[in-house]
Structure 1
């Protein structure tokens, strides 16, 4: 059996019984492989077309959109995966129907309000240089679509429609960004207009809108099949209280992921952002296995915990962590050894970010070695522990970026991100061990025997 066949077999057996979750994990990984390639191609294309300065503007404005998507999602996206899976297991179709409907309406109202406020502030505060002000306002138009998309993906995961819940954004959106960008690049010179960050932002918005429309139709079809006969019931106060810890968790995760880009733009300039962003793209390539497994595994973890199947929960955690580590290690080593070759694809000027890429790659390898600790806590009802751990590391990330960016530039930003990644994973692994009685560093399961035996 070849290495590829063993890898496929390990993933296919990750979740045990034959069915939607198992196949969802496999197809999610394969889809994310393709999506990662498309995302990489998109980044290379835009970096080539826009150059360091224009690409920096594009990356900076969408980093802000990703940050603002967290408070506007209200934590409902993460809560929805767990609640939909639990409602389905209990046959509570009315509550499920009402939860999905109320969640979407609440998130839509929040995202529209935040987008309008941020656009007004950005228009006053940001300089018009390189189209930064206009690109920022245009990017914010995609904020409601982005937040509603995260909610729709979460609902589809809860329904175990894992693949159909993701392909519009993972596959269709990057293809459309490439197509719309190339179309604008060829057509605009005929009208005496250059292709710049503003037009790239418009291309991304159009692609987001089309992908959102396709995904919304898929969710409507699933809801009709699952909940058509059940009148919706709503408990908005209780749901909002449960969602708030997830909002904090999501905010801290994204803050950890985007603080470096945002603070580079604020403490240095958008040229530094443009130089640094390809290094972050390399680090994201390393993390795609972790994201794919977590996406498919989360509803299963919630179900196993709710059903009291502790042994199966521990086994699934150990297998997933082992798989993630083994798949991530060669990717990280490749970025360390061939980082210059990778960055040269974006343009020769981007090779200056090689050291930053090495630092970020080390951080992602640490992230993979601890596996699904955050998802495990969230899906077993200990999301407040996750919020505390990630909140502390996000605070550390901000402080380190403020200290390290002025003297070290993009390398300081990379070091701050890697250190905060190490911090949150260490804290999350500690909380998993205390709450659930085990952890699975590198896929090696360690149990607290006394507690484990008493709970059984």
Structure 2
């Protein structure tokens, strides 16, 4: 992986880890304070808002990030791009807020969602404006390659939300208090973000007029295709929540959202890669470096598979322990949909970096078509399965929709001009997952104490998984150190030295029969012990995904 791209990924991953920790602590707290029913209403409102914001901000945030990252020789290119998208952001934010207020006052919201939700939509109208500038400033900074500024803003947003929402909900403000947390936090981030952008490009560029050669038509075309793409993606994220509320009570929505929250934890590294790749690969595309793009895509696919798969196996093994401990006993019904969602979440994780590289090329017709087919499958299955099977039906439909994204985007990638499977080693990665799952699940079932299982299974399971990955050749011995070399010192320098040593002697390393034999014996022992524990414990079948 290119080191500049890798450093960007590390910056984003670091921020996402912090955000993940904050989310991991705050989400079960909100679930407990709101209860399953109000948490379901809150989740439904956020899903409706996310779909609505597609038409307000998606083309702007993706556009400013992509076109700022392009290496163009035009005079004052950055100023004109920032000014163009800032004008568009102001226009669409104002229009979006006014339309939402009008829809509430004229009874459209009451007709569609019920009178009990009307008040919340006035808060969402204000949130349209603040969220627009929050996202615009963050993506502008990313377009400049300033992830070291854009990512801390995401942390501030999450901390601000928790600092406001949790006390208000605790004091009885309910869903309104949670929405107020989003409003205050997004306002704070928007103000800080505008100041940071102004330091790089004066905001007076809002009033600058670019030349006739400025590619307005290309930008607007990209915006429209980007909006279509994001709309289809958001339908994958939120259509199940919206439809489940139509056919089931709010408590079922809340528990299903709890399952989704845990499944989506698998995405934090793929999402970080996706975030960086859109603007980072734009430069590679502009220089026609197709071989480097294919190499980057295929290796990223392999690493993403291995990292996400080990997390999915661990989460499946610990699901009956983690869900009640995390959300409370009221969330026990979320275990089954969680297990059903995990295979699809893995597939979607693999699709994310591929989609980002396709976006970096700029011609979105193939990614839009691929996402559209997956979204159509998702909608049809949700319409069919939710009325009959409720949460489980939604989980199966969403899992199939998520998983199909990987298949369709591999086809799309080849049409765009790169091969994400060139060095993906999918067969070996699948074999690694299957072999490692047996001892990991057995270990989780063998430990009676829930807290001890949560402490022991993740690190031991990760070590087991890595061992099998090395044994079957899904991972080369030098590759983990190559990834770690992008981290700050002292980790980066030590990993870089280890990588150089291993890369130079890798062929000798792999040719040592005694080491291969040792790995084989260890792997076989773990597999047999896992099978033995499984046969001795009839309860094992209840936790297999």
SS at match of 1:164: helix
From 337, 340, 348, the counterpart of 2:329: 348
From 267, 273, 283, the counterpart of 1:303: 283
Q: Distance in 2 between matches of 1:441 and 1:408?
A: 40
From 99, 106, 109, the counterpart of 1:122: 109
Sort the Cα spacing of 1:106 and 1:428 in 2 relative to 1 into closer, same or farther, 3 A: farther
Residue in 2 aligned with 1:269? 249
Residue in 2 aligned with 1:4? none
Contact 1:390 1:424 (C-alpha < 8 Å) held by counterparts: yes
Structure with bigger gyration radius: 2
Q: Distance in 2 between matches of 1:74 and 1:441?
A: 31
Residue in 2 aligned with 1:29? 13
Q: Does 1:77 align with 2:64?
A: no
Q: Does 1:256 align with 2:236?
A: yes
Q: Distance in 2 between matches of 1:177 and 1:385?
A: 37
- State the 1:139 CA deviation: 2.9
- State the 1:370 CA deviation: 4.3
Sort the Cα spacing of 1:223 and 1:71 in 2 relative to 1 into closer, same or farther, 3 A: same
Q: Distance in 2 between matches of 1:250 and 1:137?
A: 24
Q: Distance in 2 between matches of 1:402 and 1:228?
A: 45
Larger RCO (CA within 8 A; separation ≥ 6): 1
SS at match of 1:165: helix
SS at match of 2:327: coil
TM-score (norm. length: structure 2): 0.72
Contact 1:54 1:196 (C-alpha < 8 Å) held by counterparts: yes
Q: Does 1:421 align with 2:402?
A: yes
Residue in 1 aligned with 2:270? 290
Of the structure 1 ranges 46-55 and 340-349, higher mean CA displacement relative to structure 2 is found in 340-349
SS at match of 2:54: helix
SS at match of 2:374: helix
- State the 1:122 CA deviation: 1.5
Of the structure 1 ranges 156-165 and 206-215, higher mean CA displacement relative to structure 2 is found in 206-215
Gaps of 5+ in 1: 1-13, 189-193, 447-456
Residue in 2 aligned with 1:443? 424
SS at match of 2:414: helix
From 119, 143, 153, the counterpart of 1:168: 153
Contact 2:82 2:140 (C-alpha < 8 Å) held by counterparts: no
Of the structure 1 ranges 136-145 and 45-54, higher mean CA displacement relative to structure 2 is found in 136-145
SS at match of 1:413: helix
SS at match of 1:217: helix
Sort the Cα spacing of 1:219 and 1:341 in 2 relative to 1 into closer, same or farther, 3 A: farther
Summarize the alignment of residues 108-119 of structure 1 with structure 2, pairs less than 5 Å apart: 108-119=93-104
Sort the Cα spacing of 1:176 and 1:95 in 2 relative to 1 into closer, same or farther, 3 A: closer
Q: Distance in 2 between matches of 1:370 and 1:207?
A: 31
TM-score (norm. length: structure 1): 0.85
Q: Distance in 2 between matches of 1:98 and 1:87?
A: 18
Residue in 2 aligned with 1:451? none
Residue in 1 aligned with 2:199? 221
Sort the Cα spacing of 1:386 and 1:184 in 2 relative to 1 into closer, same or farther, 3 A: same
Residue in 2 aligned with 1:104? 89
Q: Distance in 1 between matches of 2:8 and 2:206?
A: 25
Q: Distance in 2 between matches of 1:260 and 1:276?
A: 9
Gaps of 5+ in 2: 428-545
Contact 1:40 1:281 (C-alpha < 8 Å) held by counterparts: no
Q: Does 1:239 align with 2:226?
A: no
- State the 1:383 CA deviation: 0.8
Of the structure 1 ranges 374-383 and 106-115, higher mean CA displacement relative to structure 2 is found in 106-115
Sort the Cα spacing of 1:230 and 1:267 in 2 relative to 1 into closer, same or farther, 3 A: same
Q: Does 1:144 align with 2:129?
A: yes
Residue in 1 aligned with 2:176? 198
Q: Distance in 2 between matches of 1:228 and 1:185?
A: 39
Contact 2:96 2:125 (C-alpha < 8 Å) held by counterparts: no
- State the 1:292 CA deviation: 0.4
Residue in 2 aligned with 1:453? none
- State the 1:125 CA deviation: 3.9
Sort the Cα spacing of 1:182 and 1:439 in 2 relative to 1 into closer, same or farther, 3 A: closer
Q: Distance in 2 between matches of 1:404 and 1:288?
A: 28
SS at match of 1:397: helix
Q: Distance in 1 between matches of 2:40 and 2:210?
A: 46
Q: Aligned pair count?
A: 421
Residue in 1 aligned with 2:44? 60
Q: Distance in 2 between matches of 1:48 and 1:106?
A: 39
Q: Distance in 2 between matches of 1:206 and 1:308?
A: 44
Q: Distance in 2 between matches of 1:414 and 1:137?
A: 31
Q: Distance in 2 between matches of 1:123 and 1:221?
A: 44
1:395-453 Cα deviation digits (max 9, x unpaired): 2222211111111111111111111112222111102123314222773499xxxxxxx
Residue in 2 aligned with 1:180? 164
Contact 2:232 2:375 (C-alpha < 8 Å) held by counterparts: yes
1:144-191 Cα deviation digits (max 9, x unpaired): 22233333322222110123123223x1122222221343255x4xxx
Residue in 2 aligned with 1:387? 368
